[in-house]
Amino acid sequence: MEELTAVRRQAIAALADAGVPSPGVDADLLLCHVLGISRSELKLRQMRGDAFDPAYRQQFTELVAARRTRIPLQHLTGVAHFRYLELKVGPGVFIPRPETETVVQQGIDYLHAQGIDNPRCIDLCSGSGAIAAALASEVPGSSVWAVELSEQAIGYTRANCQPHQVNVLHQDASQLPAELHGTMDLVISNPPYIPPNAIPREAEVREHDPQMALYGLGEDGLQIPRAITAQAMALLRPGGYYVMEHAEVQRESAAAMLREAGFTHVAGHEDLSGRARATSGYAPQ
């Protein structure tokens, strides 16, 4: 019978050979998924020199082979981790990224600084619902909306948001009902923003994330973000706050876009790796 450590080592080598960026982490997470255990339990079993149950061998081998073709790890496990949440994901929905966690933090910091009781927040182009679910779970008393257009993604939006009592709207995020206008304290969006000539380098993104969630249209990739930004201005109450994620190369154009839409105190924000990640502004008082 094979030792768990040997099986793990073989998987890491196979993933590294295929160019998978984090072969050790991916091998561990696939093992945990197959065995139904936590990473701490996996570590304990390795330290004890436990055997790998042959009943799981075929499933694990198939998952490693699939990951070698650069199918996203999250599509294989059906799970993505975002801030304090475990989200359901799969083909047809954009996989939430760690850098978006800092965009959410900008919004939460604003709400805390303002001391707003029972804030009203909306996540435009919600995808998996990561931003909306994070806001609803981390901001006590908040009322949160998530807006998603994609037929493929909306099921994930609902699955991830409804446990947190988020209001999910299946429609175009740039054409929301007038009754929502002027009622929001916070608008956050991670819209499609990639310019048409900027094809993502990572195979997982290029081949598996839905194009509808990636490309922002127009020469600069900001056609959809401009429509979202105009909608954000309509949704916010005077003094309300808007935060939008964008590409590093769009730092200046995103700031100009927010100013043109009428936002004040426009500021850029970097993610934990120091890259320009988001731009924010306030609705005029």
Supply 134's token pair: 């994070």
Share the mean pLDDT of the chain. 90
> Per-residue pLDDT averaged across 103-122, rounded?
95
Measured over the CA atoms of residue 96, residue 97, residue 103 and residue 105, the dihedral's sign is positive
In degrees and rounded to multiples of 5, residue 93 shows phi and psi of: -130, 140
Q: What is d(CA 208, CA 193) in angstroms, rounded to the nearest whole number?
A: 17
192 in a labelled binding site: yes
Note the pLDDT of residue 208. 46
The secondary structure of residue 49, as a DSSP letter, is: T
pLDDT confidence of residue 248: 84
Rg of the chain on CA atoms, in Å: 21
Q: How many CB atoms sit inside 10 A of residue 169's CB?
A: 20
Phi, psi of 127 (to 5 degrees): 60, -120
Q: At which residue do the structure tokens 């065995």 appear?
A: 35
Cβ 150 vs Cβ 159: under 8 Å: no
Q: In this predicted structure, what is the pLDDT of residue 127?
A: 93
pLDDT over threshold 50, residue 149: yes
Q: Are 185 and 241 in contact (CB under 8 A)?
A: yes
Residue closest to 69 by CA, chosen among 207, 219, 216, 169: 207
21 labelled ligand-binding? no
Query: Which pLDDT score, from 0 to 100, does residue 1 have?
Result: 77
- Least confident residue range of 84-88, 144-148, 219-223, 247-251: 219-223
Cα–Cα dist 237/10, whole Å? 56
Q: How far is CA 4 from CA 51, 54, 165, in A?
A: 5, 10, 41
214 pLDDT more than 70: no
Comparing 196 with 276, the larger pLDDT belongs to 276
- Comparison of pLDDT for 190 and 205, the residue scoring more: 190
At residue 217, the pLDDT reads 53
Annotated binding-site residue? 197: no
* pLDDT recorded at residue 223: 83
CA distance 202 to 199: 9
In the chain, the percentage of residues whose pLDDT exceeds 90 is 75
The pLDDT of 125-150, averaged and rounded, is 96
Residue with tokens 């936590």: 38
DSSP conformational letter for 178: G
Are 160 and 185 a contacting pair, CB within 8 Å?
Answer: no
Question: Is 211's pLDDT higher than 60?
Answer: no
Cα 201 to Cα 199: distance, rounded to the nearest angstrom: 6
Q: For residue 99, how many other CB atoms are within 10 A of its CB?
A: 16
pTM value is 0.86
Task: Give the pLDDT mean for 79-94.
Answer: 92
Q: For residue 102, is pLDDT > 70? A: yes
pLDDT at 215 over 70: no
Which range is least confidently modeled, 58-67, 123-132, 140-149, 213-222? 213-222
Confidence of residue 198 (pLDDT cuts 50, 70, 90): low
| Residue 84 assigned ligand-binding role | no
For residues 81 and 87, the answer to whether their CB atoms sit within 8 Å is: yes
Looking up tokens 């061998």, which residue turns up? 57
The structure tokens listed for 133 are: 């679910």
Mean pLDDT, to the nearest integer, of 47-68?
93
- 104: tokens are 């959410």
Residue 148 annotated as lining a ligand binding site: yes
Phi-psi region of 239 (alpha: psi -120 to 50; beta: other; left: phi over 0): left
Phi, psi of 172 (to 5 degrees): -65, 125
**pLDDT > 60? residue 201:** no
Through-space distance between the first and last CA atoms of the chain, rounded to whole angstroms: 70
Distances (CA, A) of 46 to 3, 32, 84, 163: 8, 12, 27, 35
Instruction: Return the pLDDT at 256.
Output: 96
